[in-house]
Amino acid sequence: MTKNASAAAATQDTLEQESRNATKAMLLEFWYYFSQNKGAVLGLAVFVLLVLVALFAPLVAPHDPDVQYRDSFLVPPVWLEGGKAAFLLGTDAVGRDILSRLIFGARFSLFIGIVVVTIALVGGIVIGLVAGYMRGFVDTFIMRVMDIILAFPSLLLALVLVAILGPGLMNAMIAIAIVLQPHFVRLTRAAVLSERSRDYVVAAKVAGAGHFRLMFKTILPNCLAPLIVQATLSFSNAILDAAALGFLGMGAQPPTPEWGTMLAEAREFILRAWWVVTFPGLAILITVLAINLVGDGLRDALDPKLKRS
Amino acid sequence: MKMTKALKATLLGVSLATIAATGVSAKTLVYCSEGSPEGFDTALYTAGTTFDASSKPLYNRLVEFKRGTTEVLPGLAESWEVSEDGLEYTFNLRKGVKFHTTSFFTPSRDFNADDVVFSFERQLKKDHAWNQYTAGAAWEYFDGMSMPDLIKEIVKVDDYQVKFVLNRPEAPMLANLAMDFASVLSAEYADKLEADGKMEMLNQEPVGTGPFSFVGYQKDAVIRYNAFADYWGGKQPIDNLIFAITPDAAVRLQKLKAGECHVMPYPAPADIADIQADDSLTMMEQQGLNVGYLAYNTKVAPFDNKNVRKALNHAINKQAILDAVFQGSGQAAKNPIPPTMWSYNDAIEDDAYDPELAKKMLADAGVSDLSMKIWAMPVQRPYNPNARRMAEVMQADFAKVGVDVEIVSYEWGEYLSRSKAEDRDGAVLLGWTGDNGDPDNFLAVLLGCDGVGGSNRAQWCNDEFQALIEKAKTVSDKAERTKLYEEAQVVFKEEAPWGTIAHSVVFMPMSSKVTGYVMDPLGGHWFDGVDIAE
Amino acid sequence: MINAGAFVYSTGGHPAVSRQDPLVRHIRTHDMFRFLFSRLGLLIPTFFGVTLVAFSFIRLLPGDPLDLLAGERGIDPERKAQLMAQMGFDRPLWEQYLDYLLNIFQGDLGTSFASKKPVLDEFLTLFPATAELALCAIIIAVCLGIPAGIFAAVKRGSVADQAIMGTALVGYSMPIFWWGLLLIILFSGILQWTPVSGRISLMFFFPQVTGFMLIDSLLSGEKGAFLSAVRHLILPSVVLATIPLAVIARQTRSAMLEVLGEDYVRTARAKGLPPFRVIGFHALRNALIPVITTIGLQVGVLLAGAILTETIFSWPGIGKWLVDSISRRDYFVVQGGLLLIAGIIMLVNLIVDLLYGLINPRIRHN
């Protein structure tokens, strides 16, 4: 996309300058399209807010999320009868402040999203590049392995993997990353296949570029757009799946204030204390929705085809 | 396989409560059970849920527990004699007892000694045709109660007399024969199945002598029974019994409130206050025959010092645990056996919650900066509805006396096996539910020297204690046994191998229309004698 | 070019082509067979891979069913070794695997440890419950999702479009286990409109003919049975339909938008054909091709969702059965259940592939 016909004749300086300009222009164009989508901007704002809350959780949270107030079991939210001003959203079964737990829970959810996406993305790109670039036996083998992973419902596979690795946040993240991996592999491979016969790749090859350079420096940057979109989607999927595993008792273990785990712990109070059930779920929904809104905006901004229509 | 016309005639969505109100003859009691039975041949299994659906409604035993107690009464045996040396038990069987007539089997004879011999020999003899009739058949309870070592032979004296010959005297033998695995099946039905080449059906389409006969089971959904008209104890007041399988406690309660079922077990602790406030529901309660404990490893320093163990016991705030974990459905424990059990020593004084004293005792014992592990079970048990939460409360309590606690947990199977290790690091949260109401079933199993490296999680072997419980097992006089067990509890308290935490209180919510329900201290659910008021 | 961004949205997976040719009617059977065989050829190694995965998983699971079953009581180590040997776990791994493969081809998936019944029998008794739930969910999703997507595409940019797409995104972002709990609180708890769990009111009792409660209740001829079955089915299927509904609505909208921009649609419009004819006839037919693929891909999503939905609603299906079996370490159920579920997904994907090839011949030549 940053091809510059006159580059060959230009001096090094102007080349760099122009490339910088081009990058800047591209980002500006991207932001222009992205900001056209009001939902996406709203989603981004909520997401940034969540990140800030997570980063400054100890400053924002009114209480320590693990401190049990023994005289305040299951206090309702402040606006209900019996609510206490100290506990805005009420307390749980052992007297911990729900709002503070939700705030600290944001850390876990974002952490899960980042770790899972990083593992799945890096792994997926490497494997996909290798498959698409090498073709032949390697390709066939890799794609069959991906088919096998995709033949299982993702949550079921993650569940079995966690059962094998042992319940816990870290293992849940590994399991989810493995389950999400094939999407990145397929995407990267498909993009590589469509790019590898393009003129610029052939030109680089003729110019004597090595395999490594061809894979990572020449082809990869041109496949990034769909990967970024997929990464955003995986981010929200990771949060949902981790919460589902937590809900089934196989994710983060109590007393970790992970939202899905909080829901699982709260389930027995569904009739008596609706707030312990409602708020963690709402937190998951808002976070995932915000990320999906951003994902939609990214897709629209990065996808030249939909831009036109 | 047809439901009565009365039911057919009812309109859509009318709850069962309304059916009863229309006054049509068939009375149906619906029990929202907590899980699916593993099968219907009781002796193959160990789960209470399976017993509730199989041995209790469908079968009888030679002797039965008097409902609501652990006292042994005549069942299929009208009377019995025990020989002088305690090695021979002769049972005189009841005459005129009928087996169920169902869509899949019509009995041609009454119950007799052959049925008793069949029911036990298949568990006892490895070469019996029915010993391995289904893949992986294992007689867990029979083996677990050491029956294969204990029973020498089972002799049919005549059609109505059976003799059990033992290898050694065993005081709890009669109580054992009232347990679920000792249910009596029909030998005639088994012969028919064997002849038809459908042996596995014994576990799927059961035939017994019990108050209810089997109609059908839809996996994970519904089990249906009819009252058995020719039951030797008389026909039941209700006509149909239905188990609606509902694993989720909150859902069970919803169904109870909506009139979709009449009785439910195991309400969530959180809902108990709500149920008590509801006028249309009645809640029965009973102390459970169980104990939840924290077992220190008495073989590892500094927990080999009884003063350290004692100090930590003083640091546990049991009231906070009862509030946060049991939410009122528990009772603080001071002894290793529950208060409903005979020989419970009520004179013993519990270690009071006193952080200052605990701190001082630790200092006196020369222990400072202690950090330890507490193991929290990953599953829910009656004696500990939420081990994780219990561990968190203890963690906070121990921090107050300067002891740093790390909470660890494993997958349940691994938890059970790893916690047996004699060099285990840390104190273990665990518990026990009684099988037959005999104190030996608690004290010898959980604290006896034989259990070290096994079910004795404290790895505690005390000569004085051991001598007392060994003597109690061979004496047949109950008063004397009581005295021995009371003494053993004094030794236990003094040595403090455990922190005794709590005994659960078991609740049974039911519709106010239900009458005649009696709670079982052994945790089973029985529906004979139960009626629905019009 | 591959423009995966828009497509992968559903569940990712299929390297789909976003441009469709108008329908080509003449399909040569020869081509079709070659296509079928090439797809089957891909399936065979995947199938063996799946058996290997299922086989190794249960051997990697920590803990074992015997310890779990014995509970606090414990089990004698000798007895345990004997029982493990009975299940064949003492033999060399390759021998166990070969046996497992041979048994699969004879339709024998082993015996459940908990119930002592053949795994296949258990699966067959429970599968109709899951199938009924999943089918109802997909019907709800298709019947609401496609019209909503078309409407949104036609009214692009309007308030209605934004409302529909906003709702769809909320649905797509929904943690369905929480959503199910909320619906139970509202409809079963507060309003008491729907029953809390189960498949049909307990007052009805009739033989299972098809295993599908809706059909069986009609066959039984009992008054009210069918309506009772519907009332029991409605909440779980709505919960399960939530995500597929959102995905289908979004996919339909974007496919429609794309097709509406194509030359031949523009031409049809320019010719003055009535809008209904343009949308209903020319555009929809082509837009539906990627939507069908999306629907096929939802099978995996539905089965994953069934795990959560069945857990919440105590629905006696295979999702709950498998989760319970994993926690019980019921080896052969986990091994057989994984294989059967993967088999279903592979089969559905194959059918979708073939359908896609049938409709869009260009794929076959690739």
Q: Per-residue pLDDT tens for B522-531?
A: 889 999 999 9
Any idea what the Cα angle at residue A86 is, between residues A83 and A91, rounded to 5°?
60
Search chain A and give the residue with CA nearest C340: A152
Mean pLDDT value across chain B: 89
Closest among B414, B489, B408, B415 to B446, alpha carbons compared:
B489
Contact status, residue B341 vs residue B437, Cβ threshold 8 Å: yes
CA dihedral B190, B191, B192, B196 (to 10 degrees): 100
Residue B58 has phi, psi (to 5 degrees) of: -95, -30
Chain B within 8 Å of A273 (Cβ-Cβ)?
A: yes
Q: H-helix or E-strand containing B504? A: strand B498-511
Which backbone phi and psi does B345 adopt, to 5 degrees? Answer: -95, 95
Question: For residue B25, what pLDDT is reported?
Answer: 63
Amino acid letter, B143: D
Give the total residue count for chain C: 366
DSSP character for C37?
H
The answer to whether B278 faces chain A, any CB pair under 8 Å, is no
> Which of B19, B221, B414 faces C203 most closely, judged by CB atoms?
B19
Residue B17 reports pLDDT greater than 80: no
Confidence (pLDDT) at C362: 56
- CB-based contact C228 B220, cutoff 8 Å: no
Please give the pLDDT value at position A108. 93
- Contact between B89 and B98 under an 8 Å Cβ cutoff? The reply is no
Give the percent of chain B with pLDDT over 90: 62
Query: What per-residue confidence (pLDDT) applies to C23?
Result: 41
* Long-range pairs for C206-211: beta carbons < 8 A, 24 or more residues apart: C206/B1, C206/B3, C207/B1, C208/B218, C208/C128, C210/C128, C211/C125, C211/C127, C211/C128, C211/C129, C211/C131, C211/C132
C116 CB neighbours in chain B (<8 A) are 38-39, 44, 134-137, 200, 203
Q: How many residues does chain B have?
A: 534
- pLDDT single digits (tens) C343-356: 999 998 888 888 77
- pLDDT on residue A44: 95
Q: Is the ipTM of this complex over 0.90?
A: no
Mean pLDDT computed over B426-430: 94
More confident residue, B481 or A220: B481
Angstrom CA distances, C99 to B248, C117, C330, stand at 38, 19, 18
Residue in A closest to C341 by C-alpha:
A152
CB-nearest partner of B392 from A94, A269, A270:
A94
> pTM to 2 decimals?
0.82
Q: Cβ separation of B389 and A93 shorter than 8 Å?
A: yes
Q: Do C338 and A156 touch (CB under 8 A)?
A: yes
| C102 contacts: CB under 8 Å, gap ≥ 6 | none
pLDDT, residue C10, reads 34
Q: Residue C304 is nearest to which of A154, A191, A299, comparing CB atoms?
A: A154
Contact C209, C219 (CB under 8 A): yes
* A76-94 pLDDT tens trace: 998 988 888 889 999 988 7
Please check whether residue A269 touches B, CB under 8 A. yes
In this complex, the residue of C79, C224, C320 whose CB is nearest that of residue B143 is: C79
Taking an 8 Å cut-off on Cβ atoms, the answer to whether A147 and C49 are in contact is yes
CA angle, C288 as apex, C287 and C289 as ends, to 5°?
95
Domains of chain A: 42-53+98-306 (1.10.3720.10)
How many Å apart are CA B297 and CA B412, to the nearest integer? Answer: 19
pLDDT of residue A152: 92
pLDDT category, B319, cuts 50, 70, 90?
Answer: very high
Tens-place pLDDT, residues B21-44: 344 468 999 999 988 898 999 998
pLDDT band at A136, cuts 50/70/90? confident
| Alpha helix (H) residue ranges in B365-425 | 387-400, 412-418
Considering only alpha carbons, which residue of chain A is nearest residue C302?
A153
A77 alpha-carbon distance from chain centroid: 31
Dist CA B125 CA A256 (whole Å): 52
Instruction: Name the closest residue on chain C to residue B419, using Cα atoms.
Output: C72
Contact, B105 vs B207, CB < 8 A? yes
The mean pLDDT value for B428-451 works out to 89
Pairing of strands B240-245, B222-227: antiparallel
Distance CA B441, CA B146 (A): 12
Q: What pLDDT is recorded for position A118?
A: 95
Place of tokens 């036990």: B120
pLDDT digits (tens, 9 = 90+) for A236-254: 999 999 999 999 888 887 7
Residue C265: the pLDDT is 74
Q: How far apart are CA C254 and CA C22, in angstroms?
A: 17
Q: How many CB atoms lie within 10 A of CB C141?
A: 27
Three-class SS of residue C215? helix
The model's confidence at residue A10, banded by pLDDT at 50, 70 and 90, is low
Cβ-nearest to B135 among C114, C116, C195: C116
| Partner-chain contact A285 C173, CB within 8 Å | yes
Question: In this structure, are residues B77 and B93 in contact, taking their beta carbons and an 8 Å threshold?
Answer: yes
CB-CB neighbors (< 8 A) of A226 in chain C:
2-5, 8
More confident residue, C315 or A116: A116
Task: Look at residue B241 and tell me whether its pLDDT is greater than 50.
Answer: yes
- A1 has pLDDT over 70: no
Instruction: Compute the distance between CA of residue C286 and CA of residue B488 in angstroms, rounded to an integer.
Output: 84
Q: Pinpoint the alpha helices (H) of C261-330.
A: 263-270, 275-277, 284-313, 318-328
Residues of B in contact with A249 (CB under 8 A): 378
Q: Does pLDDT of B284 surpass 80?
A: yes
Per cent of chain A over pLDDT 70 is 94
Q: What is the pLDDT of residue C28?
A: 56
Å between B210 CA and nearest CA of chain C: 22
Q: Which chains touch A (3 or more CB pairs under 8 A)?
A: B, C
Name the closest residue on chain B to residue C313, using Cα atoms.
B251
The residues pairing with B213 across neighbouring beta strands, listed in sequence order, are B226
Which residues in chain C show pLDDT less than 50?
A: 1-26, 364-366
Neighboring chain C residues of A284 at a CB cutoff of 8 Å: 175, 178
